[in-house]
């Protein structure tokens, strides 16, 4: 009888503990879902992953669309981000890091891409320290990433033409000079000023002038290599950086190509505009720092 009572007490406590654990788990999952996060629960040995409703909805999926394994999970990660995600997860599983933290892109059902902040941690291990279960969340940070990108562009790119501005040009020039010193090579910097631009602005207005500057930017980009930099540093002044040239004549060839391109008539808002340009060239290291 005593043994029966003891077993009954133990069984009751196990049931109560199990219920408490389930309720606790439900509470934290509810809290995470309420915060707008999608929850994933990974059984590491069996490679089964349970995704919460919020997780699926965040990426436009239904229950039938998501296979419950890590292979399907990994396939949704943007190809450029998979290696870093895998490395961060591996470090967490091996105990190199206390938790998993990664920002990456996820392909949604409709083909669009969202940025997510993924966080997680191993919540149980076996007696040998091998991971048994890992739980984590996905937070949609697409809007934040979009704002960050807009701020970055405002800081480094000309708003009107989309070309690099003075700050980004300076940074690229420093990098090109450092590479030139390492390789004992040459680079060229061309300063370009538009002729007859002021009369266009005065005659037709700033809107037409702005449209003309955009067209100038396009022709400049068409005249150089993808590895070169075309920057607008203000008004009608542009700088072209050729980070690698074999000889001084290479810069002259590009300059002549630019002069020819800008001498052609611009058709802007039904106006046929004719301008020209002046270019000065400096070679590094011959012409000093």
Percent of the chain with pLDDT over 70: 87
Q: Is the pLDDT of residue 20 over 80?
A: no
Angle at CA 271, nearest 5°, toward 270 and 276? 140
Map residue 287 onto helix, strand or coil: coil
The pLDDT score that the predictor gives to residue 27 is 46
Q: What does the pLDDT look like over 122-172, one tens digit per residue?
A: 999 999 999 999 999 999 999 999 999 888 888 999 999 999 999 999 999
Return the structure tokens found at 248.
């001084």
Per-residue pLDDT, 72:
79
pLDDT value, residue 2: 60
Tokens of residue 132, six digits: 């048994």
- 94 phi and psi angles, rounded to 5 deg: -85, -5
Record the pTM: 0.62
Written as six digits, the tokens of 133 are 């279960």
Mean pLDDT of 28-43: 69
Q: What is the pLDDT of residues 43-93, one digit of tens each?
A: 999 999 888 888 888 888 887 777 778 887 888 899 999 999 999 999 999
Tokens 């007859």 belong to residue: 196
Averaged pLDDT of the chain: 87
Secondary structure of 175-207 in the HEC alphabet?
HHHHHHHHHCCEEEEEEEEEECHHHHHHHHCHH
Nearest 5°: CA angle at 205, between 157 and 156? Answer: 5
CB neighbours (10 Å) of residue 217? Answer: 19
Give me the pLDDT at residue 30, please.
47
Residue whose tokens read 């090109």:
176
C-alpha 288, offset from chain centre: 36
pLDDT for 265-282, tens place per residue?
Answer: 999 999 999 998 999 999
Hey, what are 242's tokens?
Answer: 């050729």
Contact 110, 128 (CB under 8 A): no
Q: At which residue do the structure tokens 């037409």 appear?
A: 208
**Helix segments in the chain, DSSP class H:** 2-34, 53-58, 70-75, 82-93, 142-156, 166-183, 197-204, 206-222, 248-263
| pLDDT number for residue 150 | 87
Yes or no: say if 193 and 208 are a contact pair by the CB < 8 Å rule: no
């Amino acid at each position: 009888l005593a043994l029966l009572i003891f077993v009954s007490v133990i069984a009751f406590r196990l049931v109560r503990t199990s219920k408490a654990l389930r309720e606790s788990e439900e509470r934290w999952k509810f809290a995470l879902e309420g915060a707008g996060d999608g929850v994933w629960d990974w059984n590491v040995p069996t490679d089964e992953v349970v995704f919460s409703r919020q997780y699926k909805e965040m990426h436009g999926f239904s229950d039938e669309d998501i296979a419950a394994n890590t292979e399907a999970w990994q396939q949704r990660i943007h190809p450029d981000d998979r290696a870093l995600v895998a490395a961060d997860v591996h470090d967490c599983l091996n105990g190199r890091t206390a938790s998993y933290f990664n920002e990456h892109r996820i392909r949604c059902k409709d083909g669009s891409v969202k940025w997510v902040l993924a966080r997680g941690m191993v919540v149980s291990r076996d007696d040998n320290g091998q991971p048994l279960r890992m739980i984590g969340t996905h937070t949609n940070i697409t809007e934040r990433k979009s704002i960050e990108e807009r701020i970055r562009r405002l800081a480094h790119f000309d708003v009107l033409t989309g070309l690099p501005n003075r700050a980004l040009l300076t940074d690229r020039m420093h990098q090109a000079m450092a590479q030139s010193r390492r390789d004992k090579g040459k680079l060229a910097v061309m300063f370009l000023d538009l002729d007859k631009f002021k009369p266009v602005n005065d005659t037709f207005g700033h809107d037409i002038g702005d449209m003309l500057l955009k067209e100038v930017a396009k022709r400049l980009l068409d005249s150089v290599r993808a590895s070169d930099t075309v920057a607008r540093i203000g008004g009608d002044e542009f700088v072209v950086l050729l980070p690698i040239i074999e000889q001084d004549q290479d810069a002259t060839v590009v300059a002549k190509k630019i002069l020819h391109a800008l001498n052609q008539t611009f058709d802007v808002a039904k106006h046929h505009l004719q301008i020209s340009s002046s270019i000065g060239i400096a070679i590094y290291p011959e012409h000093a720092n």
